[in-house]
Structure formats: structure tokens, C-alpha cells
Amino acid sequence: MTTSITLTRDDLPVTVSFTRRADPAHAREMTAWIRAGLSMAESFPGFLGGGWVRSRRDADEWHMLARFADHTALAGWEASSERQWWLRSAQGLAEVTRSERRTGIEGWFDSPVAEEVCEAPAAPAPPRWKQAVTIWLVFFPVNLLATLTLGVALTDVHVVLRVLVMTAVLTPVMTYLMLPWITARLQWWLHGRRWRDR
């Protein structure tokens, strides 16, 4: 008895590519941002690999690739809160200029047009408990400060409106200032390196 399995396009590996435009003066920030995204993607089921390429060192376009085992794996990554946070962290740094998906193997075999290629780092994403500790280290003092200042000023305001104002103020402070700041300083610990090896 022979069993045949038919693979649909949804069962095949899928490569997603997108292009971002950024000021070449912010190349270090872009490199760190791309590596952070690929490092987070590595912890998701079905992630097969990724990387980025620029046509030349002073180019303003960054071409990125990520490959997943199937459309379900890609959908899991695209719907994740980690990816949403990562995308928001690039606001003001880069803009999307093009996005494309390819099924099967053709996504990895286009004719090369670039001179500089950088592969995704091999280091896995930090353990979730380390990510949680890192967030708490800045969330606690920032929340305490906001409660003692803004919270006291809004004591007579209805609790729903008070929480709305507090979270509207704290969210961008955490996303754009405090989390990037603490993450940069704790990279050695997040990735299991000694402090002297930073």
C-alpha cells in the first residue's frame, strides 16, 4: 500500500524579505536593530535562518531575509508581541520601502547584487526570565517615580483616566529610552558572557 502526501504551498518553507531605508549615519543602530530582530526570531519554532545585505557600505537601503519552515511558523512570528515591540523600536530610525514573500527554495537563490553580506548571529535569544528581570529593573523605578509625581498630581482624577495617562506616558519612555538603555548595558549578562568580555 502506497501513501502519497501532497504538499500545498502553505506546507513549504517560506522566505520573507523586506527593505528598510535608513540614514547611513545610523549604520550601527541599524545593525544592532536587525541583529536583535533575528536573534528574537531564532527562538521561534520553525525559524530556519536569516540575514541582511547592503549594496555598498554607504547605502541607505538594508535588505533583510528571514526563512521559516512554513506559513504557520511565519504567522506565529509575525503575530508575536516580541516582533511588534521590535518593529516599534525602529520608528524614527528606518522606513519600510518594500516587502515580499517567496515559497520554496527560490528565495535563497536570487542572483547576488550586493557586495557586503552579514549573517545572523549564532547566539540564541536570552532566556525569558532574564528578559523579564531586565524589564523589571527599569519598570520598577520608572513606575515608582511616575506614581510619586504624576500619580500624586492626578489623585482627584477618575482611576481609569489616571491609569490611561500614566500608561500613555510610561509606554514611550520605556520603549524608546529605558529598555534600549538597560538592554545595551546588560548585553553581557543577557547572553551569558562575563562582564570583562563585553
Lowest mean pLDDT segment, chosen from 13-22, 77-86, 94-103, 175-184: 94-103
Contact (Cβ atoms closer than 8 angstroms) between residue 134 and residue 186: yes
Lowest mean pLDDT segment, chosen from 75-84, 105-114, 117-126: 105-114
Q: How confident is the model at residue 148, as a pLDDT?
A: 93
Transcribe 56-103 into DSSP letters. STT-SEEEEEEEESSHHHHHHHHT-HHHHHHHHTTTTTEEEEEEEEEE
pLDDT band at 2 (very low <50, low <70, confident <90, very high): very low
Contacts of 61 (CB under 8 A, 6+ apart): 19, 20, 21, 54, 55, 97
pLDDT single digits (tens) 35-86: 888 888 888 888 888 888 877 777 788 888 888 888 888 888 888 888 888 8
The CATH architecture of the domain made up of 10-119 is: 2-Layer Sandwich (3.30)
Closest C-alpha to 15, from 84, 95, 80, 73: 73
Of 17 and 157, the structure prediction assigns the larger pLDDT to 157
**Residue 3 in this model has a pLDDT that exceeds 60:** no
60, three cell numbers: 541607505
pLDDT single digits (tens) 130-165: 888 988 999 999 999 999 999 899 999 999 998 899
**Residue 87 in this model has a pLDDT that exceeds 90:** no
Q: How confident is the model at residue 11, as a pLDDT?
A: 67
Q: How confident is the model at residue 103, as a pLDDT?
A: 60
**Residue 119 in this model has a pLDDT that exceeds 80:** no
pLDDT band at 1 (very low <50, low <70, confident <90, very high): very low
155, three cell numbers: 489623585
Transcribe 128-151 into DSSP letters. HHHHHHHHHHHHHHHHHHHIIIII
**Residue 16 in this model has a pLDDT that exceeds 60:** yes
Q: How confident is the model at residue 91, as a pLDDT?
A: 81
DSSP assignment letter at 176: I
DSSP-derived pairing of the beta strands 94-103 and 47-54: unpaired
Domain ranges of the chain: 10-119, 128-197
Q: How confident is the model at residue 149, as a pLDDT?
A: 93
Contacts of 164 (CB under 8 A, 6+ apart): none
pTM of the predicted protein model: 0.47
